[in-house]
């Protein structure tokens, strides 16, 4: 082969590559810009697991058709979506409808990236107040919950029976620890949860934190120390595995699925997987220290309408969101996601259709928003301090008291 022909060929490749770049630059510009009165409305959601032919996407399309527009949907990984939404807002290129994890709403609202219900005329009156709280700040509402989830204790019936524990007797921390001791004596493992150094860790710790009577505004109260001491003692006494320090909620579920554990703290979203377990299971609410169910944090996503240059688009976006959050569609969506609906009437329909959901509906009704109590954008800092303290205590670096004291200092100074 001569150098010349090779050169020609390489040059040709370069030209083709360049042409391709320019061609696609021409063809696709305009698709992505959301200003102007184009027919396509962009929807971003954190459900990449749903492919183009899934029920969720066909629901989106259907709502678009009803509103007289086409819907272009993109599913992003949830951890990616916050950054992407902030960037898009910065570039003036936000989607028309944005579905995000509920604690993110207050961050995006703080950034001025979301419209309030005053601007977009969404009707949120049917939504349960404790769920809507996560989308509200200073009297304004920035989104509508599309579904909710929360935490409870799953238990392994076989393990409990073998250890002689009746789950109905687990009503407070003392009885729970007693049950764990019996399970351990019977040669099985006690409880698994997720205490990882991310928001997931705080999410899982909060039911115990709130269940002790502690408040997020005071991380080092004696009640808070008692909650962290509970977890730390479980690890020390071998009731909970050391791996919880690094467990995600999925890892902790996998541990429970082995059949060795009596209890697992996990969420509504595991219901579908729970049916695949090789043993029979049950659920009880997470007990508070003094008895009764502890308030668990609410999880789940919100539908919001980001700020657009062309305010004329809100009208159609509002129709889309209203369609997604009407009773029938909520029922369908929340059934696919294994979530509890945010509307009381729909919750009742869910509980009737599947009696197992009853526990979860009650748990969601008793649950509390993380960014509620008017914490808003203070919550992320508090949460980071909290999970840091949990990690420090569980890994033996600090006593629960010292760890929480440091957390309170960090949360209040930064």
Partner 1 sequence: MLSTKRTSTTTQDQDGAAKAAPPGPPPSRVRRPSRWLAWGFLAPVTIYLAAFYAYPLYRNVELSLREYTVRSFVQGGAPFAGLDNYRTVLSDPAFGPTLWHTLIFTGASLVFQFSIGMALALFFHQHFPLSRTLRALILVPWLLPLIVSASTWSWLLNSDSGLVNAALGAVGIDPVNWLTSPGWSLTSVIIANIWIGIPFNLVVLYSGLQGIPVEMYEASALDGASSWQRFWRITFPLLRPVSTITLLLGLIYTLKVFDIVWIMTRGGPTGSSATLATWSYRLGFGNMLPEFGPGAAIGNLLIVMALIAGLIYIRIERRQHLR
Partner 2 sequence: MTTSTPRAWWKTGIGLVLTGLMLFPVYWMINVSFTRDQDMRANPPHLFPINGTLDGYRAVLDQQLPYLGTSFLVGLGTVVLTVALAAPAGYALAKLRPPGGPALSFVLLIAQMIPGIIMAMGFYAIYLTLGVLNTLPGLILADTTLAVPFGVLIFTAFMSGIPDELIQAAVVDGASRLRTFWSVVLPVSRNSIVTVSLFAFLWSWSDFIFASTLAGGGDHQPITLGIYHYIGNNNQQWNAIMATAVVASIPAAVLLILAQRYVSMGVTAGAVKD
Which residues form the interface with partner 2 (CB under 8 A)?
A: 2-4, 6-7, 10, 13-14, 17, 20-21, 24-26, 28-33, 44, 46-49, 51, 74-78, 80, 83-84, 87, 91, 93, 101, 149, 248-251, 253-255, 257-260, 267, 269-270, 273, 276-278, 299, 301
Query: Do residues 261 and 162 lie in contact, with contact meaning Cβ atoms separated by under 8 Å?
Result: no
Residue 127 is classified by DSSP as: B
Rule CB under 8 A: which residues touch partner 1?
A: 82-83, 86, 89-90, 103-104, 107-108, 110-113, 196-199, 241-243, 245-246, 255, 258, 377, 379-381, 383-384, 388, 391-392, 394-398
Q: For residues 237-261, b (16+ Cβ closer than 10 Å) or e, as one string? A: eebbbeebbebebeebbebbbeebb
Shortest CB 228 distance to partner 1, Å: 14
Shortest CB 319 distance to partner 2, Å: 23
Q: Of partner 1, partner 2, none, which one does residue 310 interact with (CB within 5 to 8 Å by kind)? A: none
User: What is the side-by-side order of every strand in the sheet holding 301-304?
Assistant: 70-75, 40-45, 97-101, 301-304, 144-145
Phi and psi angles of residue 152, each rounded to the nearest 5 degrees, phi first: -150, 180
Q: Of partner 2, partner 1, none, which one does residue 223 interact with (CB within 5 to 8 Å by kind)? A: none
- Measured between alpha carbons, how far is 25 from 158 in angstroms, rounded to an integer? 61
Enclosing H/E stretch for 153: strand 151-156
- Measured between alpha carbons, how far is 226 from 401 in angstroms, rounded to an integer? 9
Residue 47 is classified by DSSP as: -
Shortest CB 95 distance to partner 2, Å: 10
Q: Is the dihedral of CA 56, 268, 301, 391 positive or negative?
A: negative
Please state, in angstroms and as integers, the Cα–Cα distance from residue 37 to each residue in 25, 311, 407, following that order.
21, 10, 50
Closer to partner 2 by Cβ: residue 37 or 278: 278
User: Cβ neighbours of residue 372 under 8 Å, at least 6 residues apart?
Assistant: 130, 133, 134
Q: Of partner 2, partner 1, none, which one does residue 125 interact with (CB within 5 to 8 Å by kind)? A: none
Q: Of partner 2, partner 1, none, which one does residue 28 interact with (CB within 5 to 8 Å by kind)? A: partner 2
314-324 vs 327-337: helix crossing angle, rounded to 10: 60
Closer to partner 1 by Cβ: residue 95 or 211: 95
Q: Of partner 1, partner 2, none, which one does residue 395 interact with (CB within 5 to 8 Å by kind)? A: partner 1
Q: Of partner 2, partner 1, none, which one does residue 32 interact with (CB within 5 to 8 Å by kind)? A: partner 2
Closer to partner 2 by Cβ: residue 87 or 185: 87
Closer to partner 1 by Cβ: residue 111 or 126: 111
Q: Of partner 2, partner 1, none, which one does residue 93 interact with (CB within 5 to 8 Å by kind)? A: partner 2
């Amino acid at each position: 082969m001569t150098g010349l022909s090779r050169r020609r060929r390489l040059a040709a490749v370069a030209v083709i590559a360049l042409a391709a770049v320019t061609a696609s630059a021409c063809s696709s510009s305009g698709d992505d810009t959301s200003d102007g009165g184009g027919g396509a409305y962009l929807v971003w959601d954190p459900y990449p697991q749903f492919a183009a032919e899934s029920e969720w996407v066909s629901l989106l399309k259907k709502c678009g058709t009803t509103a007289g527009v086409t819907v272009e949907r993109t599913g992003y990984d949830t951890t990616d979506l916050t950054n992407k939404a902030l960037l898009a807002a910065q570039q003036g290129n936000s989607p028309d409808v944005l579905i995000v994890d509920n604690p993110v709403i207050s961050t995006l609202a703080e950034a001025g990236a979301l419209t309030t219900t005053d601007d977009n005329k969404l009707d949120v009156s049917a939504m349960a107040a404790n769920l809507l709280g996560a989308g509200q700040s200073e009297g304004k509402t920035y989104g509508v919950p599309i579904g909710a989830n929360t935490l409870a204790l799953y238990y392994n019936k076989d393990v409990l029976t073998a250890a002689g524990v009746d789950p109905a007797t687990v009503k407070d921390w003392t009885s729970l620890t007693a049950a764990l001791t019996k399970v351990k004596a019977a040669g099985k493992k006690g409880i698994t949860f997720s205490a990882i150094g991310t928001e997931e860790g705080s999410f899982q710790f909060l039911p115990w934190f709130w269940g002790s009577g502690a408040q997020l505004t005071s991380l080092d109260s004696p009640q808070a120390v008692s909650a962290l001491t509970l977890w730390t003692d479980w690890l020390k006494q071998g009731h909970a595995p050391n791996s919880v320090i690094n467990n995600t909620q999925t890892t902790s579920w996998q541990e429970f699925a082995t059949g060795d554990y009596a209890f697992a703290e996990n969420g509504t979203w595991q219901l579908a997987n729970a049916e695949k377990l090789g043993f029979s299971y049950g659920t009880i609410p997470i007990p508070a220290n003094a008895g009764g169910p502890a308030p668990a944090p609410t999880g789940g996503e919100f539908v919001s309408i980001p700020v657009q240059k062309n305010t004329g688009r809100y009208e159609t976006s509002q129709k889309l969101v209203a369609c997604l959050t009407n009773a029938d569609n909520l029922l369908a969506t929340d059934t696919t996601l294994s979530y509890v609906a945010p509307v009381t009437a729909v919750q009742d329909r869910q509980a009737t259709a599947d009696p197992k959901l009853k526990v979860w509906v009650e748990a969601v009704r008793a649950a509390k928003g993380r960014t509620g109590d008017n914490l808003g954008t203070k919550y992320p800092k508090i949460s980071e301090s909290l999970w840091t303290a949990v990690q420090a205590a569980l890994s033996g670096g600090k006593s629960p008291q010292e760890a929480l004291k440091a957390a309170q200092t960090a949360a209040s100074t930064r």
